[in-house]
Structure formats: structure tokens, C-alpha cells
């Protein structure tokens, strides 16, 4: 299951005086049953391309018992398991990335083995993000 949240929709709701509705939209994107059905191994991951003025946000719910809901769920869950749910501890890939500045912000929140996970990091481009976070934020097939 993939949820796509566009910043334009959030800005439109905020302009209309419905900032609370926008917050509820973002907070409500994770189904309540995810917490109950996964035994604590789930993350709602989003990737935002661009800066604060022109951003495009995509997200999905990554479930790991069994792996599902993500284009590369099995790989992402295996990497998270090896890192004990700590995204910063995922072994970086040995790749060469261009020095083109095209910022992306990766955000994950959820639970891993009953512990809360809240991770946010901005990378200079998608290649650097993939090299540092493995398959966790690889939302495209």
C-alpha cells in the first residue's frame, strides 16, 4: 500500500485555515492496525524531493512481519534487522554519486521491536540517500 502526500495539497489546506486538517492528514496516513498487526516492526517512510518552497513528498508503510507495503520491502527489512532498527547504523554502500545538488529529505517513524523510531535526514541527492540508507527509502520499483 502506497500513500502519496503532496506538499501542494498540504499548503492548500493550510491556506484555507485548516492547518489542523493538514496535520491530521499527515498523522492519519499510518493505519492504526499497523501497530497491532506487526508486533512492533513497522515504519512509515517518506521521501521529500526539493526544498521547502517546491517539494514533492511520497511515502509508504513498510511492514516487516512479513515484509510488505514497500517496493523493496524484503531488502529494507533485512537491512533494518541487521542494524537493529537504527537507520543510521545501516552499512553504507560503496558507490560513486554525482555532486549535483538536488536535495531529498528522508523521514521514518514507527516502531522496531517495540522501540519508537523517528529519523529525519536531508541528503544532497537521491544517490547519497540510497548509499547511506540502503533500501529503506527506495520507494520506486
Query: What long-range pairs does 113-119 form, CB within 8 A, spacing at least 24?
Result: 113/40, 113/41, 113/84, 113/85, 114/40, 115/40, 115/85, 117/43, 117/85, 117/87, 119/87, 119/88
Instruction: Give a yes or no: residue 82 inside a domain.
Output: yes
Mean pLDDT of the chain: 79
> What is the average pLDDT across 101-122?
95
Instruction: Give a yes or no: residue 125 inside a domain.
Output: yes
Range of 29-33, 34-38, 131-135 with top mean pLDDT = 131-135
Instruction: Give a yes or no: residue 141 inside a domain.
Output: no
CATH code, 79: 3.30.350.10
Distance, CA of 60 to CA of 63 (rounded, Å): 10
Instruction: Give a yes or no: residue 140 inside a domain.
Output: no
Of the chain, the percentage scoring pLDDT greater than 70 comes to: 69
- List pLDDT tens digits, range 9-22: 434 433 343 333 33
Instruction: Give a yes or no: residue 139 inside a domain.
Output: no
- List pLDDT tens digits, range 43-76: 999 999 987 666 789 999 999 989 999 999 999 9
Instruction: Give a yes or no: residue 138 inside a domain.
Output: no
Banded pLDDT at 39 (limits 50, 70, 90): low
pTM of full prediction above 0.85: no
> What is the average pLDDT across 19-37?
43
Instruction: Give a yes or no: residue 113 inside a domain.
Output: yes
Q: Which residue has the higher pLDDT, 112 or 31?
A: 112
**Structural domain harbouring 17:** 2-133
Q: Count of domains in the chain? A: 1
Amino acid at each position: 500500500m502506497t500513500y502519496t502526500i503532496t506538499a501542494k495539497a498540504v499548503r492548500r489546506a493550510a491556506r484555507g485555515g485548516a492547518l489542523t486538517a493538514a496535520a491530521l492528514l499527515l498523522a492519519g496516513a499510518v493505519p492504526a492496525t499497523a501497530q497491532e498487526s506487526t508486533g512492533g516492526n513497522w515504519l512509515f517512510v517518506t521521501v521529500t524531493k526539493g526544498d521547502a518552497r517546491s517539494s514533492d513528498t511520497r511515502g509508504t508503510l513498510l511492514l516487516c512481519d512479513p515484509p510488505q507495503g514497500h517496493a523493496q520491502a524484503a531488502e529494507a527489512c533485512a537491512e533494518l534487522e541487521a542494524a537493529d532498527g537504527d537507520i543510521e547504523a545501516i552499512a553504507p554502500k560503496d558507490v560513486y554519486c554525482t555532486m549535483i545538488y538536488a536535495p531529498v529529505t528522508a523521514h521514518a517513524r514507527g516502531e522496531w521491536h517495540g522501540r519508537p523510531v523517528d529519523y529525519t535526514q536531508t541528503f544532497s541527492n537521491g544517490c547519497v540517500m540510497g548509499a547511506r540508507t540502503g533500501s529503506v527509502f527506495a520507494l520506486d520499483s
